[in-house]
């Protein structure tokens, strides 16, 4: 049943994305990169925190680490500045936005050049309203100038936040800024925060419009550095899936917010759980961490090629949470290869249990919606040493054992 629904959906998505979705040729897979906010917030005191303040060095160092430590090779591409990069006032003569003179002494074009010289892409943050969330100038009265300024600086990705704005103006204002970005002639990924501000005030966002004007959009709360916050966000995407899931596809993605992996709040098991669920959700993979000091076990999770391949699957179908039983969540996503008309599936079992030992259970393949009469090959995506050589019939019960707050992540490929 699942596969029939999903083949139908995939066809609708493919047809749809050509007609009714933003067609700037960008973000055909969920964007991957690094963004400052989750780890570095609005630290602006470079005298006290020279290695953590929002400054050109922070982004240059992150660029170097991404290139030299294997993240670029794994697919991470965008280096994105979040809030707190500006002077409090626009240039009095030109009215242009001005990067903080002390923290970005070389200016944004030079920083973009640096990022580009390493083969990566450069992203920046602004806000649709009168001010950014941290009080710096917003775009609302200077939209054309700001779009042109970003193009002049060779920006490749714009995140437009929605603080200090009227949520009713956003249906017009965000598309307008998108048109102005387009009019510059420079392709820039456009990340919109418009639905989260509307939905938090009880106004249902217009997803057809979002898809037409934005490459990705933040649906819900900001993620915070805790397992509790991660669960709140994944619950939102699970429970509201029927409303949200159909709108994702190549060029237009739901964004559950940044990866916490490598920071303070998640254990290794919980980090695998976020990576697996973000892969199922076809979510942007935006790290926000200290790559200079990251522990190797977190780096391994972030660059896992098999898990990234699920996230970046070319069909771009967002997966769903299928069920929750005894605090074990089953998440399922149809992916390639499609064999004799049947999808492969990525399946994550995320444990929300806290009773000490790993939880053992059996899963029948047909209960996951798997239907291939010839059975399935199984790959354990996090644990290469767990080689499952057989072809498993859909009536077979596989045994799994999931660590408390951990995940088991398998790929099922229909046998030829």
Ligand X SMILES: *[C@@H]1O[C@H](CO)[C@@H](O)[C@H](O)[C@H]1NC(C)=O
Instruction: Give me the residues that bind ligand X (CB under 6 A), please.
Output: 23-25, 57, 60-61, 182, 185-187, 199, 235-236, 239-240, 292
Residue nearest to ligand X (CB): 236
Alpha-carbon gap, residue 176 to 38, rounded angstroms: 28
- The separation between the first and the last C-alpha atoms of the chain, rounded to the nearest angstrom, is 20
Q: How far is the CB of 294 from ligand X (least distance, A)?
A: 12
Q: How far is the CB of 312 from ligand X (least distance, A)?
A: 22
Q: Which is nearer to ligand X, 2 or 236 (CB)?
A: 236
Mark whether 83 is an active-site residue.
no
Q: How far is the CB of 202 from ligand X (least distance, A)?
A: 7
Query: Which of 51, 64, 171, 222 is the catalytic position?
Result: 222
134-160 in b/e burial notation, b at 16+ Cβ within 10 A? bbbbbbbebbebbbbbbbebbbbbbbb
Three-state DSSP class for 351?
Answer: strand
Mark whether 222 is an active-site residue.
yes
Q: Which is nearer to ligand X, 11 or 239 (CB)?
A: 239
289-119-58-253 Cα dihedral, nearest 10 degrees: -50
Q: Which is nearer to ligand X, 242 or 389 (CB)?
A: 242
Q: How far is the CB of 20 from ligand X (least distance, A)?
A: 11
Q: How far is the CB of 8 from ligand X (least distance, A)?
A: 24
Q: Which is nearer to ligand X, 60 or 116 (CB)?
A: 60
Cβ(332)–Cβ(368) below 8 Å? yes
Alpha-carbon gap, residue 43 to 49, rounded angstroms: 8
Cβ(21)–Cβ(210) below 8 Å? no
Beta strands in 304-375 (DSSP E): 320-325, 328-339, 342-351, 359-364
Cβ(31)–Cβ(284) below 8 Å? yes
Query: Which of 82, 100, 127, 161 is the catalytic position?
Result: 161
Q: Which is nearer to ligand X, 45 or 384 (CB)?
A: 45
Active site residues: 161, 222
């Amino acid at each position: 049943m699942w596969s029939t629904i999903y083949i139908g959906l995939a066809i609708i998505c493919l047809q749809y994305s050509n007609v009714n979705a933003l067609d700037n040729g960008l973000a055909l897979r969920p964007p991957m990169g690094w963004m400052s906010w989750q780890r570095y917030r609005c630290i602006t005191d470079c005298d006290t925190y020279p290695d953590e303040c929002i400054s050109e060095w922070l982004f240059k160092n992150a660029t170097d680490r991404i290139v030299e430590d294997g993240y670029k090779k794994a697919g991470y591409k965008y280096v994105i500045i979040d809030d707190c990069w500006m002077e409090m006032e626009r240039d009095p003569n030109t009215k242009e936005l001005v990067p903080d003179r002390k923290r970005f002494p070389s200016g944004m074009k030079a920083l973009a050049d640096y990022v580009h010289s390493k083969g990566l892409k450069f992203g920046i943050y602004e806000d649709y309203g009168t001010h950014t969330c941290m009080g710096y100038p917003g775009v609302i009265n200077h939209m054309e100038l700001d779009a042109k300024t970003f193009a002049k600086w060779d920006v490749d990705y714009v995140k437009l936040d929605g603080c200090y704005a009227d949520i009713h103006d956003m249906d017009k204002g965000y598309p307008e800024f998108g048109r102005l970005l387009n009019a510059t002639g420079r392709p820039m990924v456009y990340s919109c925060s418009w639905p989260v501000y509307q939905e938090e005030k009880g106004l249902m966002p217009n997803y057809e419009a979002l898809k037409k004007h934005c490459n990705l959009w933040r649906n819900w709360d900001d993620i915070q550095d805790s397992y509790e916050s991660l669960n709140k966000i994944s619950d939102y995407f699970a429970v509201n899936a029927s409303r949200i899931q159909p709108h994702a596809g190549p060029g237009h993605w739901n964004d559950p917010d940044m990866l916490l992996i490598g920071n303070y709040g998640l254990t290794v098991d919980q980090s695998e759980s976020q990576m697996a669920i973000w892969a199922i959700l076809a979510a942007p993979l935006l790290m926000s961490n200290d790559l200079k000091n990251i522990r190797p076990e977190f780096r391994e999770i972030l660059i896992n090629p098999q898990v990234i391949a699920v996230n970046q699957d070319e069909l771009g179908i967002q997966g769903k949470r299928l069920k929750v039983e005894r605090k074990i969540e089953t998440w399922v996503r149809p992916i390639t290869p499609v064999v004799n008309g049947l999808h492969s599936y990525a399946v994550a079992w995320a444990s929300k249990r806290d009773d000490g030992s790993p939880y053992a259970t059996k899963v029948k393949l047909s209960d996951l919606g798997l239907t291939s009469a010839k059975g399935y090959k199984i790959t354990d995506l996090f644990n290469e040493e767990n080689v499952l050589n057989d072809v498993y019939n859909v009536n077979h019960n596989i045994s799994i054992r999931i660590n408390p707050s951990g995940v088991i992540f398998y790929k099922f490929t229909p046998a030829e």
